[in-house]
């Protein structure tokens, strides 16, 4: 069985179009979405509609939570709080009450089993939408924060920096970001997991999308933080 995991779209529907087109070529059996659908991009409504059209399992990310209830002090750097609040208000205004309700009711964990292989997927950690676990963390830290007993493959998003590691016989992977990669590669990122009877294979897929078009969209829609977001897209980094 071939599974695709996508996340951190952040309202970048152009990038999501490219990723979904790539997925169509790979004979994928199931798609999973690990959150952060709308916030910080120029097309929040279309990004959400594309996700909903997949009719797949979707979980909530921290940015989805922000869209629903706003950004709270202490959740972002003090110097960014006012601007990120303005961005959230702009995103919220592009959505209707049904969209907000959809984001609000999303679960926070996915558990999937096939051929005895147990997969656990979540946005940031199994118990938090906000905790940050970077690729540079020690094995002990990753084991403590990300691994749950009985799970063979743990899959998360949130940090926008894809990687794959093996710790005590367990696979841990971060799938990166569709809409806002932070690893210096100006390509969307998502993950493929192949599960067979006696084996499995994990891979990170990078997909080209029209970065310049998205930068132009920020200007066209008068996004409140267009200049910074353009720089993030240009550099694929914060």
- Per-residue pLDDT reduced to its tens digit, 111-120: 999 988 999 9
Per-residue confidence (pLDDT) for residue 238, from 0 to 100: 87
pLDDT level of residue 197 (50, 70, 90 thresholds) = confident
Distance of CA 93 to the CA centre of its chain: 22
Residue whose entry in the numeric block shows the structure tokens 């799970």: 151
Q: What is the mean pLDDT of residues 211-222?
A: 98
Residue where the block lists tokens 């063979």:
152
**Residue 164 forms beta bridges with which residues?**
173
pLDDT of residue 108: 98
Q: Is the pLDDT of residue 198 over 90?
A: no
Structure token pair of residue 16: 């999501």
Mean pLDDT, to the nearest integer, of 124-152? 97
pLDDT tens by residue, 56-103:
999 999 999 999 999 999 999 999 999 999 999 999 999 999 999 999
Rounded Cα distance, 113 and 127, in Å? 20
Paired sense of beta strands 188-195 and 200-207, if any: antiparallel
List the structure tokens of 139: 């094995």
DSSP type of residue 232: H
Cα angle, residue 111 at apex, residues 108 and 112 outer, rounded to 5°: 140
DSSP 158-188: SSS--EEEEETTEEEEE---SS---SS--SE
Q: What is the mean pLDDT of residues 169-181?
A: 97
The domains of the chain, with CATH numbers, are: 2-235 (3.60.21.10)
224: tokens are 């409140």
What is the arrangement of strands in the sheet containing 57-58, beginning at the earlier edge strand? 57-58, 30-33, 2-6, 188-195, 200-207
Query: How far apart (Å, rounded) are the C-alpha atoms in residues 46 and 25?
Result: 22
Tens digit of each residue's pLDDT (9 = 90 or more) over 139-169: 999 999 999 999 999 999 999 999 999 999 9
Q: Distance of alpha carbon 156 from its chain centroid, rounded?
A: 8
How many other CB atoms sit within 10 Å of the CB of residue 145?
Answer: 17
CB 66 within 8 A of CB 39: yes
Q: What average pLDDT does the structure give for the chain?
A: 97
Relative to beta strand 117-122, strand 200-207 is unpaired
Distance from CA of residue 153 to its chain's centroid? 17
pLDDT of residue 213: 98
Percent of the chain with pLDDT over 70: 100
Q: What is the mean pLDDT of residues 31-38?
A: 98
Query: For residue range 9-28, what is the model confidence (pLDDT) as tens digits?
Result: 999 999 999 999 999 999 99
Compute the distance between CA of residue 23 and CA of residue 118 in angstroms, rounded to an integer.
22
Half-sphere exposure of 197 (CA within 13 A, CB side): 0
What's the pLDDT at 104?
A: 98
């Amino acid at each position: 069985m071939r599974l695709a995991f996508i996340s951190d779209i952040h309202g970048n529907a152009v990038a999501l179009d490219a990723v979904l087109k790539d997925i169509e070529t790979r004979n994928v059996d199931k798609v999973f979405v690990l959150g952060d659908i709308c916030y910080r991009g120029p097309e929040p409504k279309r990004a959400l509609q594309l996700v909903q059209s997949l009719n797949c399992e979707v979980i909530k990310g921290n940015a989805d939570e922000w869209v629903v209830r706003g950004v709270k002090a202490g959740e972002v750097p003090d110097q960014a709080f006012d601007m990120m609040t303005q961005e959230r208000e702009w995103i919220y205004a592009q959505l209707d009450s049904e969209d907000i309700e959809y984001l609000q009711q999303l679960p926070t964990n996915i558990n999937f089993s096939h051929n005895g292989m147990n997969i656990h997927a979540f946005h940031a950690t199994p118990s938090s939408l906000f905790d940050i676990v970077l690729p540079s963390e020690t094995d002990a830290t990753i084991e403590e924060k990300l691994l749950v007993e009985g799970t063979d493959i743990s899959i998360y998003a949130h940090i926008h920096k894809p990687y794959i590691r093996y710790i005590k016989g367990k696979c841990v992977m971060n799938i990166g970001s569709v809409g806002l990669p932070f690893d210096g590669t100006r390509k969307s990122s998502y993950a493929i997991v192949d599960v067979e009877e006696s084996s499995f294979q994990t891979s990170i897929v990078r997909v080209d999308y029209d970065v310049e078009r998205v930068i132009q969209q920020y200007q066209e829609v008068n996004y409140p933080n267009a200049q910074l977001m353009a720089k993030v897209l240009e550099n694929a980094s914060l």
